[in-house]
Amino acid sequence: MKCPICRHGEARPGAVTVPLERGDVVIVFREVPALVCENCGEAFHDEAVTAALLKQAEQAVAAGVEIDVRRFAVAA
């Protein structure tokens, strides 16, 4: 896929680190699957990955997490 941000690079399958922050809570997910532009580095996640990220973040907030770094799990 041609990158819609820089319009020069191709987005290829890869993995990225995604930091999420809400108020005083910071959760960092590592090894999140994405399409990553080879030129500008912009990452694009599909709908299933985005939904899983948000679900895991909500669970962490509900458990009282303030700062957390975790490896992304597809099935959460």
Q: Which residues contact 65 (CB under 8 A, 6 or more apart)?
A: 25, 27
- The tokens for 19 are 């930091």
- pLDDT, tens digit, for every residue of 46-69? 999 999 999 999 999 999 999 999
Q: Which residues contact 49 (CB under 8 A, 6 or more apart)?
A: 32, 33, 34, 72, 74
- pLDDT, tens digit, for every residue of 3-16? 999 999 999 999 99
Residue 14 CA to residue 22 CA, distance in Å, equals 26
pTM of the model: 0.86
Please give the domain boundaries of the chain with CATH numbers for all domains.
11-71 (3.10.20)
Q: Which amino acid is at 12?
A: R
